[in-house]
Amino acid sequence: MASLARPLRPASVKQCQLSALLSLPPILRANSYLSQHTRWQSTTAHKHPKTAIFFPGQGVQRVGMIDDWLKAFPRTVKPMLDEIDETLQVPLSRIIAEGPNNDLMATENAQPAIMVTSIMILRVLEQEFGFQTNERVDIALGHSLGEYAALVAAGYLREGDALRMVRKRAEVMARCSREAGEEVGMVALVCETNHLGPLIEGIHEFLGHHGEGSKMDSSVETDLPAVQQVLIANINAKNQIVLSGSIKRISELLTHLRQFGGHDPRAVRLKSDSPFHSPLMKPATEVMRRLLEEPSQVAKGEDSVIWPGVMPCVSNVSARPFESKQQLKELLARQCVDTVLWHDSIIHLHREEKVRRWIGIGPGKVGRNLVGKEVGMKGAVKGGGVWGISDPKEIELILKDLDKTEKLEGEE
């Protein structure tokens, strides 16, 4: 498919406006919004409260989520969008900007769209505001799909390689869902905090998972076909998990829990046409293993994975930082089918690593809200805070908050 940067394609109104904007001298191009926000330059500090940067997963996409960024920061955003379309040979930037919604919601588009939007926001911070990620941030992590953006931010994957991997991964996942033969998807369960442990035990009892190690491993052996292997896809918070697989089988499980297990969690069907992190996604794991062993498509002759990176990056599978290049490749491939241990990751960083500042980068506020609830912080607090950057208007205030908390090193 043609790239948006190529000629002879009818231009949209937005593209005509952008062309007119870019043709102006820089002093005129910098409208009042852009001028106001590029004056603030981020401070570089060598000592600061331990800081984590985190990225969202699938479900936060929306048509038009790049519009404000493109209008405010065309010199950074426009070249990135052109490169993305050229890399994928798909007009992804048009799909993000104009939809239709069904196209953007499709797994093969949603996953790369969320990843590139997250990285685009990070690059705006770096290039427009002087934010030096490797000096201001100590550790990176991402929720499910967000792990790829985290690996780019932490220096383990190159943007072009990550984009191709995510697109291929998403295409295989979408195909697996189409070929499932029945309705599949994901259902979030929300319960009282002190009921989560017994609820998980009840789920494993119903599903017939026995033995040490079976509780969190989505590759548990079973005689059931993959689509029937309902498993816990995500442990998101102290009171929230997500089930993945056959919707009929999930309904049977919920009926059992309510009738015989004494549990009555609130069930919410997620806007997902695929049962991510379930055995049905096993073909995606195999594709990722192959892609991760191939040479980089960006840096010829180099490995697809850079080791070491510039900072630790937490694995969804282990809830701990990757320890070697080979482990990164294996766990990143397994992430397609294994449970996302998001709650464990946040609690480990909060309690053991003493992370005090959390910066969410990417569309939507789901990630910020999940983290804030787990660590008991919202916005700036003494010595730390939890922030989410999904809109250009938020940048200056958050950078000021970060600079204020830099001065509170060592205070509790």
Q: CATH number of the domain at 237, please.
A: 3.30.70.250
Strand pairing partners for 226? none
pLDDT value at residue 222: 61
- Shared domain for 321 and 378, answered yes or no, is yes
- Shared domain for 73 and 185, answered yes or no, is no
Q: Is the pLDDT assigned to residue 43 strictly greater than 60?
A: no
Look at residues 234, 255, 274 and tell me which one is the last residue of a structural domain: 274
Mean pLDDT, residues 135-148: 97
Helices (H) and strands (E) in the chain, counts: 18, 9
C-alpha 313 chain-centroid distance: 13
Predicted confidence band of residue 41 (pLDDT cuts 50, 70, 90): low
By annotation, the residues acting in catalysis are 144, 277
Q: Is 6 within a domain? A: no
pLDDT value at residue 361: 98
Distance CA 39, CA 34 (A): 9
Q: Is 365 within a domain? A: yes
Q: Is 412 within a domain? A: no
Q: Collect all residues with Cβ–Cβ distance below 8 Å to 126 and sequence separation of at least 6.
A: 132, 133
- Shared domain for 296 and 236, answered yes or no, is no
- Shared domain for 208 and 235, answered yes or no, is yes
Predicted confidence band of residue 225 (pLDDT cuts 50, 70, 90): confident
pLDDT value at residue 63: 97
Q: Is 152 within a domain? A: yes
Distance CA 376, CA 352 (A): 16
Least confident of 132-141, 161-170, 277-286, 370-379: 370-379
pLDDT value at residue 214: 40
Look at residues 274, 300, 319 and tell me which one is the last residue of a structural domain: 274
- Shared domain for 26 and 149, answered yes or no, is yes
Least confident of 212-221, 267-276, 302-311, 378-387: 212-221
Q: Is the pLDDT assigned to residue 14 strictly greater than 90?
A: no
pLDDT value at residue 54: 98
- Shared domain for 48 and 169, answered yes or no, is yes
pLDDT value at residue 249: 93
Q: Side chain identity at 114, as an amino acid letter?
A: I
Q: What percent of the chain has pLDDT over 90?
A: 74
Q: Is the pLDDT assigned to residue 229 strictly greater than 90?
A: no
Q: Is the pLDDT assigned to residue 368 strictly greater than 70?
A: yes
- Shared domain for 135 and 206, answered yes or no, is no
Q: Is 4 within a domain? A: no
Q: What percent of the chain has pLDDT over 70?
A: 84
Average pLDDT, the chain: 87
Q: Is 95 within a domain? A: yes
- Shared domain for 317 and 255, answered yes or no, is no
- The closest of 125, 110, 137 to 53, measured between CA atoms, is 137
Q: Is 321 within a domain? A: yes
pLDDT value at residue 378: 86
262-273 pLDDT, tens digit per residue, is 899 999 999 887
pLDDT value at residue 227: 73
Predicted confidence band of residue 383 (pLDDT cuts 50, 70, 90): confident
pLDDT value at residue 261: 86
Predicted confidence band of residue 46 (pLDDT cuts 50, 70, 90): low
pLDDT value at residue 364: 92
Number of domains present in the structure of the chain? 2
Sign of CA dihedral 25, 27, 30, 32: negative
Mean pLDDT, residues 118-124: 98
Cα–Cα distances in angstroms (integers) from residue 235 to residues 108, 180, 273, 410, in the given order: 24, 24, 19, 31
- Shared domain for 147 and 64, answered yes or no, is yes
- The domain in which residue 203 lies consists of 180-274
Mean pLDDT, residues 376-395: 93
pLDDT value at residue 4: 34
- Shared domain for 266 and 312, answered yes or no, is no
- Shared domain for 22 and 153, answered yes or no, is yes
Look at residues 254, 274, 294 and tell me which one is the last residue of a structural domain: 274
Q: Is 391 within a domain? A: yes
Q: CATH number of the domain at 48, please.
A: 3.40.366.10
- DSSP of 7-68, one letter per residue? TTSPPPHHHHHHHHHHHS-HHHHS-HHHHHHHS--PPP-SS-S-EEEEE--TT---TTTTHH
288-344 pLDDT, tens digit per residue, is 999 999 999 999 999 999 999 999 999 999 999 999 999 999 999 999 999 999 999
- Shared domain for 31 and 82, answered yes or no, is yes
Q: Is the pLDDT assigned to residue 279 strictly greater than 50?
A: yes
